[in-house]
Each structure stands twice: as structure tokens, then as C-alpha cells.
Amino acid sequence: MRIALVSPYDLTVPGGVQSHVRHLAAQLRAAGDEVVLLGPGRDPGHLGVGASVAVPFNGSVAPIAVAPTAATRTRRLLARLRPDVVHVHEPLVPLVGVTAALASPAPVVATFHAWSDDARLYRIARVLGRRVLDRAAVAVAVSPAAAAYHGAALGVPPERFRIVPNGVEVARFQGVPPLERVVDPSRETLLFVGRLERRKGLEPLVRAFLRLRADRPRLRLLVVGEGAEGERCRALVPAQLRDDVVFLGRVPDAELPGCYRAADLYVSPALGGESFGIVLLEAMAAGRAVVASDLPGYRSVVADGQTGLLVPPGEPVALAAAIGQLLDDPVRRAGLAAAGQRAAAGYDWSVVTATLRGLYREALG
């Protein structure tokens, strides 16, 4: 098939949707499909439709194209490319997502990624949102949480959406040695991976770490990611403990599996806004037990007490207690890690891609 993958988010900026689109493109090409990527930003790997600007949304910052010329370029490129199927990610995000969904010359598969505590913005644009949804031959949500959110916002039953989760390259995270520059077998190590913005919950994790550190002099925390929260969270750490909270910044993709393998426990303390949990899947694929916030999107990935532990978001005391339980019980930690690794296999990109290719054929039919 000739497939156009459309991202409304700048494909040169790190992000969950952007990563999903790039991985999906690679998998489809490996399956023999011809794939073209469209989105904001300028990069040899995709067709750019214009520059992006950072727009605050859902506790994060969305790098989207807002100039009217981006909509024009999106329409022109899709008309010129003549794809068999157009797969639009986040089709309600202006301007590129909405334009691609409504102006596509080919059947549209629309994937809805977002989840939020607040659907007011989508409700305001419900008429346009319903037009987008009705235009799609197949509507997909990455989790039951995302389906419920968009269903409520657009006034349709969640069953309107097919559930196709995000994918993970399971093999890439297995059998990898710990990253040499960060591993220290003599110390208990916690790991955080994510953008350093408030909604990702680094502050509660730092506070939980400080509680635990009082009784665990060998405990340390590795922080992977960049963002404005970094400096503020560094300031929470007393000077004598600064060497034990290691801010690694942005880590190359090739080194990320080794970071997971260098940790005893992966912690994802997000406060909200998560529709899924790609980082949870990566940690589970790497064979690491997970402690995460009890959010609807995370419950799509982690079964509490079976493949990880879920705790109330934004509560450092509860977070510290769950982390301490698993650090004190290596047998339980290993059991959760093994169960998580088995569960992660069901999210391998080979499985996800096969499902999506079936939906593409359905859209063509």
C-alpha cells in the first residue's frame, strides 16, 4: 500500500506521538509498504508543511503549525502524493491534523492519542470534531482511556473507536547490557524517563527519593530527559545529596535500553494527561519492575499488583512506600518484572503494525 502518515506535531521535536509515527513508518516500510510522512518541521525524513510554534496544551507544550499556509501545503501534498490510505494522528489538532482528516483524497484512518482531565476545549469544538470523526473510515484510540475521553468530548460512545495501542520494540530492550557510564551494581537505582515538565511528576518523585534516602544511604536516582522542571527539582535536593540525583539530560535512543537495564526499579509518577504509557512498556520490555501513578492511561498498560504497582498521583509518601516495598522484596520485584516482560510482548510493534495494516485494508474496502 501507499500510505501517508500525518503528524500535527513537529516531527523534529521529541514526543510520544512523533515517536509513534516514526516507528510505525519504519515497520510499514519493512512490511513492503510505501510510506510518506507529513508534518511540521524541516527534516530529510519527512515532508514539511511549515514551521511549528510551542502551544501550551494539556499540561505540556504542543509543537504545532498554526500558519494558514500549513493547511494549504497539507492539502496540496496529499493531492500530489495520491496515497491509498491517509493515517492521521491526532486529527483534532490544528491545523495539520484537522486539515488532513477533512481534505484527504483517500480513505482516512484516524488515531486519537490524547487523554486529559478536562475536555472543555474539545466540547467547544464538538461540531468540527464530529465532522472529523465522521470523515474517518476507521477511528482508532490508543487505549480505553483515550476512547472514553474522546467519546465523551464528541458525544459518541467509546465503542466508536477501535483500540490499537502504542507499540514498543521489545527485542531492542531485551538482552542489552546496562549502560556502562551510569551502572553501579553496588547501589540501589531508581530511574525516571520523560520530559521534565510538571505533569510528568518529577517533583513528587524527588520528594519520595528524599524520604527513602534517609534510611537508604546507597540509594540513587537517575533522571533522563530535558525541560523547565529540571532546575526547580534540582533545587529540592540538599547539596550533600546532589551527586545521588543524576540528571542525564536527553539520552540517545541507542543508549536508552541500557539506562533501563542499569536500574533496579522504574518509576513513572505522572500527575495526569497520560493516555497510555510508552515508557512503562519500555521498562517492562527491559525486564524492570514498575511503580507508576494510578491514571486511566497507565491502567491500560499496568495491572496493579500483577505487572507493577500503581499509586495515587502526586502523593510522595505513597510513592515512597511502594518503592520501598519493592526494594525490600527482591523476589516480588523479580516476579513483577517477569510478568511485565511477558505482558510487553503483546505490544510489540510487529503486533501493532499487523493490526493497523488490517485496518488500512478495511478502510480501502
Rounded to the nearest 10°, the torsion over CA 113, 118, 124, 129 is 20
- Write out the three cell numbers for 128: 468540527
Q: What is the mean pLDDT of residues 345-364?
A: 97
Asked whether residue 297 carries a pLDDT value surpassing 80, the answer given is yes
Query: What pLDDT is stored for residue 280 in this prediction?
Result: 97
Q: What distance in Å separates the CA atoms of residue 176 and residue 258, rounded to the nearest whole number? A: 6
Quick: pLDDT tens for 298-345.
999 999 999 999 999 999 999 999 999 999 999 999 999 999 999 999
Quick: pLDDT tens for 168-222.
999 999 989 999 999 999 999 999 999 999 999 999 999 999 999 999 999 999 9
Q: What distance in Å separates the CA atoms of residue 81 and residue 184, rounded to the nearest whole number? A: 51
Of the chain, the percentage scoring pLDDT greater than 70 comes to 98
Strand 34-39 and strand 85-89: pairing? unpaired
Q: What distance in Å separates the CA atoms of residue 20 and residue 228, rounded to the nearest whole number? A: 24
Query: What pLDDT is stored for residue 119 in this prediction?
Result: 66
Query: What pLDDT is stored for residue 59 in this prediction?
Result: 66
Measure CA of the first residue to CA of the last residue in the chain; give whole Å. 13
Quick: pLDDT tens for 248-287.
999 999 999 999 999 999 999 999 989 899 999 999 999 9
Is residue 334 within 8 A of residue 183, CB to CB? The reply is no
Query: What pLDDT is stored for residue 213 in this prediction?
Result: 96
Query: What pLDDT is stored for residue 285 in this prediction?
Result: 98
Q: Give me the chain's average pLDDT, please.
A: 95
- Please provide residue 61's backbone torsions phi and psi, each rounded to the nearest 5 degrees: -125, 125
Considering only the C-alpha atoms of the chain, give the largest distance between any 2 of them, rounded to a whole number of Å. 65
Q: What is the mean pLDDT of residues 11-39?
A: 95
Is residue 344 within 8 A of residue 284, CB to CB? The reply is yes
What domains appear along the chain, each with residue ranges and CATH number?
Answer: 2-167+348-364 (3.40.50.2000), 170-346 (3.40.50.2000)
Of residues 124 and 98, the one with the higher pLDDT is 98
Q: What is the mean pLDDT of residues 79-89?
A: 97
